[in-house]
Structure 1
Amino acid sequence: MLVALAVALVPAFIFAPGPLAASMSGGGFGDQRILSDSLSESFVDYWSSGDRDFSPDLERVVDYWLHYHVVKAVIAATLLAVLTTLGVLLWRAFLRAGEFAAGGRTALASAGVVVTALALFSLAAVMANIQGAIAPFSSLLSMLPMYAAHGELADTLDQVRQRLADYPNSGDRTPPAIEVMVSDFSRYHAVMAVAATMVAAVLVGMSVVSWKRFARTGASDRRTRRVFRSFGLLSALLSSAVIVVAGANLTTTADPAPALLAFFKGGW
């Protein structure tokens, strides 16, 4: 049942968010190109308006993108729960597989490794989509065709870059749109910093528990010791990587304008 549910959730994660987001936000976009074109047009209008509040067209795109990430986050979290449960069952079966032939134990171990890897990908997807749901505008900016911009969009992007290069020390009043983008970009990275910190704490705890179980297991039970040693090392390595991610996002949260400028220059 768990395998069937996981198999069903993977295509759901890919294909379901668009239609569901469209139904919840009152409208959708047929494909990525239509979304990018709609964003480009509404972004130019928003910049030209001089207002802080989103224009109706941009609001519709942002609202769709918010619901898109909410749906993906829910599916990814469900998949993570399924894979975690399945992984626990597989590794427990592997530890009790003394009566199985070597081929059976290898199959259980291989399945456990695959499920664990998929669970880690699901965890990353949950984090990324929570980030996109809480700060959808910043997430949506990645859909702007930075390298292929022309006409009004190219002019608008040049103006944004100029304003960001002077921010916050420009002589004249900072455009409201710049304030909105900088604030939302800071929130975007703050979400990931918090999420990464929480995940790092869980991973550190898992590493500590794994090493304690490793130490308590007798030397004769090599299979159990090998499993807990592997999980202890994996958790420690992953926690180190996630701590780096948390630190980088925390730095950007404190000073988002340079990173946002690098993004608009295509170097982030």
Structure 2
Amino acid sequence: MTSPPRPSPPAVSGRAAAVLAAVVAALVVAFVIAPGPLAAAGSGGDLDTLRGSFAEYWAAGEGELSPALRRTVEYWFDYHLAKGAIAAALLVVLAMLGVRLGRAYLRPGTLPAGRRGVLAGSGAFVALLALFALVVVMANIQGAAAPFASLLPMLPGGLLAQPRQQLAGALHAGGEASPALQAMIDDFGRYHVTMAVVASLVTAAFAVLTVVLWRRYQRTPRDDRRARRVWVTLGAATALVSLAMLTVAVANTTVAADPAPALLAFFEGGW
């Protein structure tokens, strides 16, 4: 008895793919130019006063942020929020576009070599862009969760000299950290806790996706070489991403467990 024919994936709509590609381009432009104005409109702050407001905060020695530094931190929070939201929208649209390209590539029948190559190349490019968008979403979640810590790399080394000396004394000579320095340590720890949690969730998601793709590969008939090649390639890629994200999760968990030495390494130029 012959087995019933497999249902073919629906053909990709050239118009729909073009619309999705246009949306991708628009979101990329918005990602570059929109976060700054949106953050400024929401918080009323900017980065121009960062150096002066941080110097004022450090001189006061209090754990609570000064009003000027708080406005800058709120601006940076809004900036990460806008950037992360745009990147998340970009990730969704890229996923939709990738699915359409994949369906067109896997559609039964003989594709001209040129069209097959274009679909394969476009699909690979979309997948890489989607991975980049995912990383950007993760980084902006981290930055929004700990905006003060994510501002520290923007400060010149001269402004960080005193925090570095005080932290080194606290770690190596039994000195005490001022409330201002302790607030920096706490936010630095929160910065890495956030990434540890986010990277762990992404690790689990890609591990599940790897299993799903492997099972899809196993269920695909051996004579359908094109589909089997797609599933095994995607499965290998998701497995590698899962391992990379696991490494990120472990590294950030280690820092989050004891953030002060890592913060000192950052102050000394090693982070």
TM > 0.5 fold call: yes
Partner of 1:176: 179
Q: Distance in 2 between matches of 1:241 and 1:173?
A: 37
The total of aligned residue pairs comes to 253
1:80–1:119 contact (8 Å) kept in structure 2: yes
One of 250, 257, 261 as aligned partner of 1:247? 250
Given candidates 118, 130, 134, the residue that maps to 1:123 is: 134
Partners of 1:179 and 1:168 in 2: CA distance: 12
Match for residue 18 of structure 1 among 36, 40, 53: 36
Aligned to 2:99: 88
AA aligned to 1:130 is: I
Counting only pairs closer than 5 Å after superposition, residues 18-167 of structure 1 correspond to structure 2 as 18-28=36-46, 35=47, 38-96=49-107, 98-146=109-157, 149=158, 153=159, 157-167=160-170
> What are the Cα deviations for residues 207-263 of structure 1, in whole angstroms up to 9, with x where unaligned?
111111111111110000000000110011111111000000000000000110011
CA gap of 1:24–1:108, structure 2 versus 1, over 3 A, is same
Give the stretch that moved more between structures: 7-16 or 170-179.
170-179
- 1:168 deviates by 5.4
Structure 2, unaligned runs of 5 or more: 1-18
User: Corresponding residue for 2:227?
Assistant: 224
Is structure 2 residue 229 aligned with structure 1 residue 238? Answer: no
Q: Aligned to 2:215, which of 198, 208, 212? A: 212
Q: 1:180 to 1:170 in 2, by over 3 A?
A: farther
Tell me the distance in 1 between the aligned counterparts of 2:249 and 2:176: 33
Q: Which residue of 2 aligns with 1:32?
A: none
The one-character-per-residue Cα deviations of 1:185-221 (angstroms, maximum 9, x if unpaired) are 1100010000100001011111111111111111110
SS in 1 for 2:151: helix
Comparing 215-224 with 91-100, greater Cα deviation is found at 91-100
1:79-101 CA-partner distances (Å, limit 9, x unpaired): 00000111011111100052431
- Give distance in 1, aligned partners of 2:123 and 2:101: 6
- Residues 1:223 and 1:53: Cα distance change in structure 2 (over 3 Å): same
Mapped partners of 2:270, 2:120: distance in 1: 41
Q: Secondary structure, in 3 states, of the residue corresponding to 2:156?
A: coil
Change (3 A) 1:172 1:110: closer
Distance apart, 1:166 and its partner CA? 3.1
Distance 1:169 1:110 in 2: 54
Measured in 2, the distance between the counterparts of 1:128 and 1:171 equals 34
Q: CA deviation at 1:167?
A: 3.0
Contact kept? 1:70, 1:129, Cα under 8 Å: yes
Which runs of structure 1 show a deviation greater than 6 angstroms over 4 or more consecutive aligned residues? none
| TM-score normalised according to structure 2 size | 0.90
Tell whether the 8 Å contact from 2:45 to 2:74 is kept in structure 1 after alignment: no
Q: Is the 8 A contact 2:88 2:137 kept in 1?
A: yes
Contact 1:168 1:174 in 2 (8 A): no
**TM-score of the superposition, structure 1-length normalised?**
0.91
Deviation, 1:27, is 3.4
1:267 to 258, 265, 270: 270
Give 1:56 shift: 1.2
String of CA shifts for 1:108-146, please: whole Å, max 9, x gaps: 111100000000000000000010011000001111122
Write the letter of the residue equivalent to 1:11: V
- Name structure 1 gaps, 5 residues minimum: 29-34
Distance, in Å, in 2 between the alignment partners of 1:99 and 1:241 is 36
Letter in 2 for 1:120: L
> Alignment partner of 1:167: what SS?
helix
* SS in structure 2 of the partner of residue 51 of structure 1: coil
- 2:235 is matched by which residue type in structure 1? G
